[in-house]
Structure 1
Amino acid sequence: MCRNIRVLHNFEPPATEDEVHAAAVQYVRKVSGSTNPSAVNQEAFDAAVEAIAEATRTLLDSLVTKAAPRDREVEAAKAKERAATRYAR
């Protein structure tokens, strides 16, 4: 999976529309192989982003878990620790 796409499920507060949209953009960029589509492909790119964002929001709204909500600050600290370990080599 693309490293820029983050887990959005089970956070308190829930994922924002901006986070959902950013994940959709990253997904479409990865699948299309293009970070900046040409003018002729822009409409298709934007439509795909909106469709993925809608599907993502539907998924997040439908998921059920018994786990306690995650804390964004704790998860960010864990990510920094993993990165420090990964790049300390």
Structure 2
Amino acid sequence: MCRNIRTLYNFAPPATEDEVQAAAVQYVRKISGFTKPSQANEAAFARAVAAVTEASQQLLDELVTSAPPKDREVEADKARARAAIRYNVTTA
């Protein structure tokens, strides 16, 4: 799966419409192979993004969990720490 698509479920605050749409765009780009579709494919690309956005939002709305929501800043700090290890970056 595309690395740019991030988990959107069970965060405080919840994912915004823009985040859901951005994930949908990344997904459609990945499966179509286009970063920007041609004029001939633009309408189909836009319909696909809209459909994936709608399905993704419906999924997020219907999922249930007993786990407490994750904090976005804590998760971002963890991701930065993993990246520093992966890319052998030292912090000053």
1:68 and 2:65 aligned:
no
- Trace 1:5-44 onto structure 2 (pairs within 5 A): 5-44=5-44
Q: Supply the distance in 2 between the matched residues of 1:30 and 1:41 (Cα, whole angstroms).
A: 15
Structure with a larger share of its residues in strand: 2
Match of 1:51 in 2: 51
Match of 1:83 in 2: 83
Q: Percent identity over the alignment?
A: 67
TM-score w.r.t. length of structure 1: 0.97
5+ residue gaps, structure 1: none
TM-score w.r.t. length of structure 2: 0.94
* Larger gyration radius, structure 1 or structure 2: 2
Kindly provide the CA deviation profile for residues 2-45 of structure 1, in whole angstroms up to 9, marking residues without a partner as x: 11000000011110000000000000000000101000000000
Number of aligned residues: 89
Q: CA RMSD in A?
A: 0.9
Q: Supply the distance in 2 between the matched residues of 1:11 and 1:32 (Cα, whole angstroms).
A: 29
Pairwise CA distance, 1:70: 0.5
Runs of 4+ in 1 over 6 A off after TM superposition: none
Please tell me the residue identity of whatever aligns with 1:52: V
5+ residue gaps, structure 2: none
Please tell me the residue identity of whatever aligns with 1:72: R
